[in-house]
Chain A
Amino acid sequence: MTSQQRPLLIPSPRTPGQEELPYTPVPGDSLIPISSYPKPTSGMDSNSQIEINENSYQVPGFVRNSSSHRSISSIQSKTSSGHSVREVNLSEMSMRTVRYGSSGTDFGGVSTSYKEINDEDARLVYINDPGRTNEKFEFTGNSIRTSKYSVLTFLPRNLFEQFHRIAYIYFLVIAILNQLPQLAVFGREASILPLAFVLFVTAVKDAYEDYRRHRSDKIENNRLAWVLQDDKFQQKKWKNIRVGEIIKVYGNETLPCDMVLLSTSDTTGVAYVQTTNLDGESNLKTRYAKQETQTKNPEKERITGLIKCEKPNRNIYGFQANMDLDGKRISLGPSNVILRGCELKNTDWAIGVAVYAGRETKAMLNNSGAPSKRSRLESRMNREIIFLSIFLVTLCTIVCICHGVWLRRHKDELDLMQFYRKKDYSEPEVENYEYYGWGMEIFFVFLMSVIVFQVMIPISLYISMELVRVGQAYFMIRDDRMLDKSSNSRFQCRALNINEDLGQIKYVFSDKTGTLTENKMEFQCASIGGIDYSNGKDITDNGQADNLVQADGMVLRPKMKVKVDLELFNLSKRKHTDEGRHIHNFFVALAACNTIVPLTIDTSDPSVKLIEYQGESPDEQALVYAAAAYGFMLIERTSGHIVIEIQGERQRFNVLGLHEFDSDRKRMSVILGCPDKTVKVFVKGADTSMFSVIDKSSNANIVKATEAHLHSYSSKGLRTLVIGTRELSASEFEQWQSSYESASTALMGRAALLRKVANNVENHLNILGASGIEDKLQEGVPEAIESLRMAGIKVWVLTGDKQETAISIGYSSKLLTSRMTQIVINKNSKESCRKSLEDALLLCKKLTTVSHATHGGPTAEVSRLALIIDGTSLVYILDTELEEQLFELASKCAVVLCCRVAPLQKAGIVALIKNRTEDMTLAIGDGANDVSMIQKADVGIGISGQEGRQAVMASDFAMGQFRFLVPLLLVHGHWNYQRMSYMILYNFYRNAVLVLVLFWYVLFTSFTLTTAITDWSSVLYSVIYTSLPTIVVGILDKDLSRTTLLKYPQLYGAGQRQESYNSKLFWVTILDTLWQSIAAFFVPLLAYWESEVDGSSIGDLWTVAVVIMVNIHLAMDVFRWYWITHAAIWGSIIATFICVMIIDAIPVLPGYWAFFEIAGTKLFWVCLLSITVGALLPHFVVKVIVQYSSPSDLQIAREAEKFRSPRELRHTQIEMNPIFYDRRRT
């Protein structure tokens, strides 16, 4: 039977046939539910590894954890009915609807029952008969196209896509309006040019990118694969592979399409694949060929059969299918498919049948970009854009009404006015010449004024912002201080539109495992039989414990060294004492009760081989390495048995059954046929779940002692697991076997049935002991947290860990200090939650008033509160009216630790803050369980660490370590925010100045929208004259140096308080704009009043004056002058002069030679000087006054940076640090 059940062993989806679980636990680090896509997900909270070790199997748990308010009922329904049917529907529903816990979707679809696979929903694949397979429905071929365009479709499609941007549509509408002869304000070319330019540049960029994609597609499509043709494997190009064909893949080759495994070089049908390209996980995953097909050789005997599988979907961890082969129906699960993009490893060859090809493969379906978010600044900016639009409409209305009045007043004179000439006499019949009646004229004037004043809406701003963000991203990516040297991974900007949000973060929600900690598990200590062994030492050097295993003249050595407790090491060698037997069982359990695959690696010394344990959970790896260090070396694992080298003696255990981890049971077990012919069940799991199944009566002392040890372990921050065992009697075993068999072949409700079987056998266990694994804190975490706290950022830790572990990590990361008052909420009912929340709030109030009374400063005291709340309580709080209270409480606490939270709850907590405050939230995490919160938060950061790339894929930014958060937020975030805010305000100002200057002139032209500034100049204004400096400043300007920003994290508060961009600043800017436009327009106007100056000359003066003024305005606000800044600003002014000269050197334009004439007069230059000084004087004066009399922190820091010596700074640092300050005071 075991051989039939091979899938059992598999790391993950080892339950045979998983049809009903679309999201089934996944192999490898699999725990990761697919996160980035609307996915069921969830459940897997890798953090709970602590006790569970096999985090991966928690899947169903999500049902319970995920959405709090319904949890109870769903749990009940699940346990009572035991129909996995339901779960399936749950998960399917959730796939579509549930995004995070607090969204509170109800599971309306629970009752619809699941039926195998409907023919309609299925794809039928006839094995080795591609013709028939593709007969009815033409399935997609295997050629892929990641390119978007072909030569023919490029133009229309690219334009279509570009015009998705609202800004371009605005551009286009204005340009089209301008083409109407009645409305032609600008020359046709002039009005089309900017749009055409932008479209052209983008099109060229797109074309180039697409060309590269074409090229890589071509390479990809022309790769060769061995395909069964005429009963022989022959080479065929990838693009010609069709669904239904049988394909042979050799080791280290890439898989060409999604295939169901038929057979592999391994006799048991195992194939290892590396899925780096798919999910970024570098460990090997095991895939299985079904026994029924394993034996067949397609080259010799013809395989015919029908695979009925689900329609292509993007769930890379799910697959359900049936295979009808030789009259038998075999069910297939995710463990039986190998996916395109993966590489076959450690397997000589594998044969499979193509089921999904080309763009229907899971890899391709998953090939989508990161979700796009919108930055806070940009949404804020929209409000101001609306103001500007209103302003624009007002200007246009003024113009058109005035024009109407003017027309009315002169209506009798229009016919003969030399400059109007309403009538056209050139034809015999006298007609109106371009006069469409009073109403229409007004309407046309309105439209024309929209065209003339179009730049009031700073369209170019959107384009500049994109460029600036690219530039900022470049510098963030290239920053050496955010380079993780150990993994050589750079910072990644995946979302390009929220750079500036990094400067305004108020809440950081952090995952613990892998984010704060390294997620490199290290076995630290064990409690075996009630005795604590925790004196581990690194003793590999003295050779004593250097346990090598001699095999076939080879020496095997574990790849990782583990600290070994000498006493335990020696005891473990005594086999015949009770103690020794206990220890023996303990380590056998560690070595066997897992899903680790040992791999041997060659070393430079041919006689020595390293043995490496590959597996999905780092805890399991740590345990197996620990077992190996104590002489229990797992050296072989196949489907039916494992081989453990025990103290130099090779022993073979038959694996009779394995109950994978699930989050209900929170434990896993394996049933072993031992060499001594006994059958034992070994169980390991979380302490809570284990103590309920341990027989406490027989070994009460040990249980008690173990509990005490567990407590001390977890308070040291160790992750603990409890291990138990029991010998099964023959009858018990038979009973188990039959129910196991029937459960695992059941067509419906298999998972629940298996769980039931597991529950039956996992009881009355003898306790073996407990293990303690250290999850090491990452480098620099406490310092980083300290900095963030000083920067006024609240750090919340959300973890799946136990309360004790969470608190201990809290202490070691300096999140918690001993002076803090801890409020702990871990309650099991809504009422008790309400009660404790109320109590806590009262306590808060009391503390606040006390501190008021004694110190007068509320902030310091209240910030000493720490809230610790667990997932169960959150179930009762989130999505209920208690949320409000929790929010109130949490916002008063300096630190919030949430332990035992499910992934969707993490998102719920983020939403708790996000929905109630304007504050910016940032979520950082590394695992699939963090995906929901990463997506929910304003800024999501993925740590590219041990747990795969799910978090990174869903994130906006990705980086190597938690501590990079400090430079990212405090330095880059601050800069980006400050630069972008200034840039937006400046662009508003820049465009409005020009519009107002145009507007003032319109008032002197009988409201007919003549522009003194030439068409070309007004078009080039935002393209050449003034665009480059703002972009350069937006990318390069730094208000403060990196050192200063890091030294005083408090400076970050400027962004949180929105100091650089707010309504007040906007209106001040608008006032300034108004003044500057008046100065720039009226000085020349009055200086040339009643003179013989012509329109073009004074127009050139206006052009030059506005450009100089606007550029010097920018120059006055630049903090740091690089040569590039100089070049951009002065270069723009020079470029303007050159452009104006060129325009005026074209004889057919009305302004021919005007600039040269006017620039030859002294008055021109005197005017220019007075405009520049007069216009900018208020700006300068206000700046000076503000900086001198009420300097901002940034300003003081800037001065200090320049004038205070570094020594002096160090001296004063202590008093600047509120934390130190607090300490002194108390």
Chain B
Amino acid sequence: MPSGDGSTKSSTKTSKKPQYSRFTQQELPACKPILTPGLVMAAFLILGLAFIPIGLSHLSASDNVVQLIDRYDEACFPASSSNPEEANGKRISYIQDDKTDKTCTRNLTVPQKMKQPIFVYYQLDEFYQNHRRYVRSRNDQQYRSASAERKTANCDPEAEVNGNPIVPCGLIAWSLFNDTYSLSRNDIALPINKNGIAWESDKTSRFGSDVYPKNFQTRSPIGGGKLNEKIPLNQQEDLLVWMRTATLPSFRKLYGRIETDLEENEIIKVVIQNNYNTYTFSGKKKLVISTTTWIGGKNDFLGRVYVTVGGICLLIAITYIIFYLVRPRPLGDPAYLSWNKVPASN
């Protein structure tokens, strides 16, 4: 019935016997928390008392980390010029030249005793591994199985060479970091274990065991490291580490592990193959040798946060207690209702 549309609806509605339900009457059992002074004080005290210890333990953990940082991009450049632009030009031509020997030796002193495992990282600054053009330039399908080697979508401009797909394709793989470090202590080589530096999940499921590098770095410009075409992608752990793009333009990536302890004041000789071009964009390269604790590397920021927050909480709790003692307000006292206050002020 056209016009009855509304009325029939309402009549069916009205004809329904109203059945009482706590739900429809909005009378479900409920908890009504109220911030009573006791609750508030307890909350702040507990927070304060819990946070300060966490913060302190964090700080001490950070304190226990021993790390060695060596920036070598400038230092490993043999010739230098007073004119910065000229110098930069020289650097670029130097690094781009395949034939020059880019070996560079650095001596580092261990500040404190370092217990194994000691982690060796390379750190790049000003390298935007999170640049939008960069992070998107990959194709995980191709990396995963040999049958998908033609899937090079998103990989431009490093997708194909003369119509043949590049495996692994994309800018990220193309720009693989290729400096190498060899460490020695008292002329005895310190082996760096490069096994297991990549995530297990990357090795087992993300990169295929049957995918071998093809046509990789065969065309100029060469962005970075080359890959051994005999080794499947999931064994190329350096690549796997590199392909986990970093969060920030300054980032560390795991290079390997030293599995012996280093003693204080020991001198470590590092031989660096300074291959990776950061000179074009004034990026920095650093070698980092560090121990870790449960918080990872050396970083006391979070510890300070905890201590600060905990301190503030305690402070508030104390202020609140004082305030409560000086000007107590009985909860739910009707005298405080606004319409009861007006006559009071008369």
Contacts and interface: CB of A to CB of B under 8 A. Distances in A.
A364 B3 contact: yes
Given A1036-B26, A1121-B31, A425 B220 contact: yes
B235 interface: no
Interface in A1169-1201: 1169-1170, 1173-1174, 1177, 1180-1181, 1183-1184, 1187-1189, 1191, 1193, 1196-1201
Contact of B34 (A220, A1162, A1170, A1198): A1198
B206 A1122 contact: no
Interface in B219-261: 219-221, 223-224, 244-254
A1193 B333 CA distance: 10
Contacts of A1005: 128, 130-132, 249
Interface in B309-339: 309, 312-313, 316, 320, 323-324, 327, 329, 331-334, 336-339
Q: Is the interface of B mostly helix, strand, loop or mixed?
A: mixed
B281 A413 contact: yes
Contacts of A418: 127, 134, 171, 174-175, 223-224, 277
Interface in A1038-1058: 1038, 1042, 1048, 1050, 1053
Contacts of B280: 413, 416-417
Contacts of B25: 478-480
Contact of B157 (A424, A1004, A1006, A1181): A424
Given A417-B281, A1010-B131, A1221-B343, A1152 B205 contact: yes
A1019 interface: no
Interface string A769-808: 0000000000000000000000000000000000000000
B175 to A, nearest CB: 4
Interface stretch (B103-111, B180-188, B267-275, B293-301): B293-301
Given A417-B281, A479-B25, A1050 B133 contact: no
Of B3, B25, B43, most buried by chain A (CB within 10 Å of CB) is: B3
Interface in B46-81: 47, 51, 54, 58
A1130 interface: no
A1149 B205 CA distance: 12
B132 A1009 contact: yes
B14 interface: yes
Nearest to A424: B157
Contact of B302 (A1149, A1163, A1188): A1163
Interface in B161-181: 161, 171, 174-175
Contacts of A277: 1, 3-4, 7
Interface in B85-103: 92
A1091 interface: yes
Of B20, B121, B331, most buried by chain A (CB within 10 Å of CB) is: B331
B144 interface: yes
B157 A1050 contact: no
B216 interface: no
Nearest to A1187: B35
A143 B156 CA distance: 62
Given A480-B20, A1152-B201, A1163-B294, A1123 B28 contact: yes
Interface in B8-59: 10, 13-15, 18, 20, 24-26, 28-35, 37, 40, 43, 47, 51, 54, 58
B125 to A, nearest CB: 9
Nearest to A1180: B43
A155 interface: no
Interface stretch (A569-577, A661-669, A1080-1088): A1080-1088
Given A1119-B32, A1216-B337, A1153 B246 contact: no
B59 to A, nearest CB: 12
Contacts, number: 325
B212 interface: no
Nearest to B119: A1092
B302 A1166 contact: yes
Given A416-B277, A1095-B246, A1173-B51, A1218 B339 contact: yes
A1150 B140 contact: yes
A84 to B, nearest CB: 30
A1065 interface: no
Contacts of B33: 1121
B141 interface: yes
B35 A1200 contact: no
Nearest to B346: A856
B240 to A, nearest CB: 11
Contacts of B2: 144, 146, 220, 340-341, 361, 363-364, 367
A1187 B51 CA distance: 25
B140 to A, nearest CB: 4
A1048 B201 contact: no
Given A1161-B296, A1218-B339, A1147 B346 contact: no
A1089 B132 contact: no
A1196 B26 contact: no
A421 B129 contact: no
A856 B345 CA distance: 10
Interface string A137-167: 0000000101000000000000000000000
Contact of B221 (A416, A1162, A1173, A1221): A416
Contact of A1008 (B58, B133, B141, B206): B133
A1086 B206 CA distance: 29
B159 interface: yes
A1086 B346 CA distance: 57
Contacts of B35: 1183-1184, 1187-1188
Interface string A1199-1216: 111111000010010011
A438 interface: no
A473 B332 CA distance: 31
Contacts of A1173: 47, 51, 309
Nearest to A491: B13
B32 to A, nearest CB: 5
Contact of A1193 (B1, B159, B338): B338
B123 interface: yes
A302 interface: no
B340 interface: yes
Interface stretch (A170-178, A262-270, A482-490): A482-490
A180 interface: no
B302 A1167 contact: yes
Contacts of B206: 1147, 1152-1153
A466 B176 CA distance: 52
Nearest to B39: A1184
Contacts of B205: 1147, 1152-1153
Contacts of B246: 1092-1095
Interface of A: 144, 146, 185, 216, 220, 254, 276-278, 280, 340-341, 361, 363-364, 366-367, 410, 413, 416-421, 423-426, 433-434, 474-475, 477-480, 483, 487-490, 492, 855-857, 949, 953, 1004-1006, 1008-1010, 1012, 1036, 1038, 1042, 1048, 1050, 1053, 1083, 1085-1099, 1119-1124, 1147-1150, 1152-1153, 1156-1157, 1161-1163, 1166-1167, 1169-1170, 1173-1174, 1177, 1180-1181, 1183-1184, 1187-1189, 1191, 1193, 1196-1204, 1209, 1212, 1215-1216, 1218, 1221
6 tightest Cβ-Cβ pairs between the two chains A and B: A1200-B332, A1199-B332, A418-B175, A1153-B201, A478-B24, A424-B157
Given A421-B223, A1092-B297, A1153-B202, 5 more contacts: A341-B2, A416-B280, A424-B156, A857-B342, A1099-B247
Interface of B: 1-7, 10, 13-15, 18, 20, 24-26, 28-35, 37, 40, 43, 47, 51, 54, 58, 92, 121, 123, 127-135, 138, 140-141, 144, 156-161, 171, 174-175, 199, 201-202, 205-206, 219-221, 223-224, 244-254, 277, 280-282, 294-297, 299, 301-302, 305-306, 309, 312-313, 316, 320, 323-324, 327, 329, 331-334, 336-340, 342-343, 346
9 contacts: A423-B157, A474-B24, A480-B20, A1004-B249, A1089-B299, A1095-B244, A1153-B202, A1202-B34, A1215-B340
